[in-house]
Amino acid sequence: MTNSRFSRRSAMALGAAMLVTSGSGLVLPARAAELAPTPSMRGGSNNYRPGAAIVDRIGGGGFWMTGTVRRAGDGTPLPGQRIQIWAHTTEGHERDPQSHGATLTDANGEFRLEMPQIVPAFGQPHGHLAYDSGEFETVFLRPIMASSKDKTLAAHFILQPA
Amino acid sequence: MIRNLLIWAALIVAVTVPLIAAANSPLLAWRDPAYIMAGFAGVLSMGLLLLQPLLAGRDLPGLSPVASRRWHRRVGISLIVAIVVHVSGLWITSPPDVVDALLFVSPTPFSAWGVVAMWTAFPAACLGIFRQRITLRYRLWRLGHTGLATVTIVGCVVHAMLIEGTMEVMTKTALCILVLLASVRTLARLRVWDIRRRS
């Protein structure tokens, strides 16, 4: 390895450069800027009823909507964020009030809300989720179930400060 | 005679079995009447789409050419009514989803196929209804009508195949294949692409 390009001189130069710039803010950790905010999905806001109440469970339950909420950029989990959820289920159509509910993320930025079984509607078994609380940009998601027999569905939010 | 009976029996089976299978869907328990009606109008449309090329090709035994044409017209008008009922029922069920579909911004890929099929079905029907009043050479008129109808047929088949939850999968696939076969047969036998004047 006598031909190594990484000579003592270059190591010294690199180290010095790192020292000089580290305090300047010119060097950003690689993780940071890369986490882009989640865009709203097509049709995500269909049959949205703003202001769904925070509930322990929507209707009789039996199906779990899960997910995470993080901040764009650094990916910090966001606790206490209100996520609104609705779907066509065994207990009602999307626009029926009883099909809507909301929950809060826990300390790890995770949420989990029990709701009735989602059934295929308008050709696809899908759910709707909204972040629409103002602190961050509003996002509407419309995840599709891989199989209509699934008992759970996940959706993840990366939010951009408003 | 037996053969004629068998053809008619097979046709009735092909149209009614998908309707019966759809009527046995457990999903119906969780759907409102308007939504159910919209779904069945769609299933019925697929059945009517099977009749149309058979009537146009005068393939159905026992029907004179005049009767075939008359029934082709009646079934065509029924098809337009079924499409209108289909879209209206969906509109009542979920207006924003229908608006998305009509504006081609729906998240569901099958919506665009259905909307295109609808927008070609209407002028195809108009060409049929106003054929006498349109001063178009017969073969040109026929190419226009069958061209539009072909888009409707392909659009409807793709639309139906991509949808989950309205039709039972086996009967849906069988009906779609029959619709395509009947259409190709009639288009090929009439040589609709040949627009030369008859010599």
Please name the member of B94, B107, B165 whose beta carbon is closest to the beta carbon of A42: B107
Residue A2 has pLDDT above 60, yes or no: no
**Least confident span in A22-36, B34-48, B49-63, B76-90:** A22-36
Confidence of residue A1 (pLDDT cuts 50, 70, 90): very low
Contacts 24+ apart (CB under 8 A), A13-19: none
Residue A29 has pLDDT above 80, yes or no: no
Give the residue-averaged pLDDT of B178-198.
92
Q: Is residue A6 part of a domain?
A: no
**SS3 assignment, position B25:** coil
Q: Is residue A92 part of a domain?
A: yes
Please name the member of B27, B90, B96 whose beta carbon is closest to the beta carbon of A119: B27
Residue B94 sits in which domain range?
Answer: 2-190
Question: For chain A, how many structural domains are there in total?
Answer: 1
Whether residues B108 and A124 touch (CB distance < 8 A) is answered with yes
Give the residue-averaged pLDDT of B170-192.
96
Q: Which residues contact B197 (CB under 8 A, 6 or more apart)?
A: B137, B139
The share of chain A scoring above pLDDT 90, in percent, equals 78
Please name the member of A42, A121, A122 whose beta carbon is closest to the beta carbon of B105: A42
pLDDT of residue A87: 97
Give the residue-averaged pLDDT of B36-44.
97
Confidence of residue A4 (pLDDT cuts 50, 70, 90): low
The CATH number linked to B117 is 1.20.120
Confidence of residue B132 (pLDDT cuts 50, 70, 90): confident
Q: Is residue B198 part of a domain?
A: no
Give the residue-averaged pLDDT of B23-34.
95
pLDDT of residue A13: 73
Q: CA-CA distance, A63 to B96, in Å (whole number)? A: 25
pLDDT of residue A23: 56
H helices present in chain A, as ranges: 8-22
Question: For chain B, how many structural domains are there in total?
Answer: 1
The CATH number linked to A110 is 2.60.130.10
pLDDT of residue A6: 63
Contacts 24+ apart (CB under 8 A), A141-146: A141/A38, A141/A40, A141/A41, A141/A44, A142/A41, A142/A42, A142/A43, A142/A44, A142/A46, A142/B107, A143/A41, A145/A118
Residue A70 sits in which domain range?
Answer: 63-159
Instruction: Confirm if A139 and A42 have CB atoms less than 8 A apart.
Output: no
**B66 has which bridge partners?**
none
Residue B178 has pLDDT above 70, yes or no: yes
The share of chain B scoring above pLDDT 90, in percent, equals 90
The reply to whether A150 touches chain B by the CB within 8 Å rule is no
Whether residues B30 and A119 touch (CB distance < 8 A) is answered with yes
pLDDT digits (tens, 9 = 90+) for B111-126: 999 999 999 999 999 9
Q: Is residue A19 part of a domain?
A: no
Instruction: Confirm if A114 and A69 have CB atoms less than 8 A apart.
Output: no
Residues 25-54 of B with CB under 8 A from A: 27, 29-32, 35
Smallest Cα distance from B41 to chain A, Å: 14
Q: Is residue A30 part of a domain?
A: no
Q: Is residue B196 part of a domain?
A: no
pLDDT of residue B92: 96
Q: Is residue B108 part of a domain?
A: yes
Residue-averaged pLDDT of chain A? 88
pLDDT digits (tens, 9 = 90+) for A66-123: 999 999 999 999 999 999 999 999 999 999 999 999 999 999 999 999 999 999 999 9
Q: Is residue B195 part of a domain?
A: no
Instruction: Confirm if A89 and A61 have CB atoms less than 8 A apart.
Output: no
Q: CA-CA distance, B101 to B114, in Å (whole number)? A: 9
pLDDT digits (tens, 9 = 90+) for A30-40: 544 589 999 99
Q: Is residue A20 part of a domain?
A: no
Reported as half-sphere exposure (CB side, CA atoms, 13 A), residue B100 has a value of 20
Q: Is residue B197 part of a domain?
A: no
Write the single-letter amino acid at A126: H
Q: Residue B16 is encoded by which pair of tokens?
A: 């009614």
User: Among candidates A131, A19, A23, A122, which has minimal Cα distance to A85?
Assistant: A131
Kindly list the distances between the CA atom of residue A16 and the CA atoms of A9, A12, A22, in Å, as whole numbers in the listed order. Answer: 11, 6, 10
Q: Is residue B168 part of a domain?
A: yes
Confidence of residue B107 (pLDDT cuts 50, 70, 90): very high
Q: Is residue B37 part of a domain?
A: yes
Structure-model confidence comparison of residues A158 and A22, the more confident one: A158
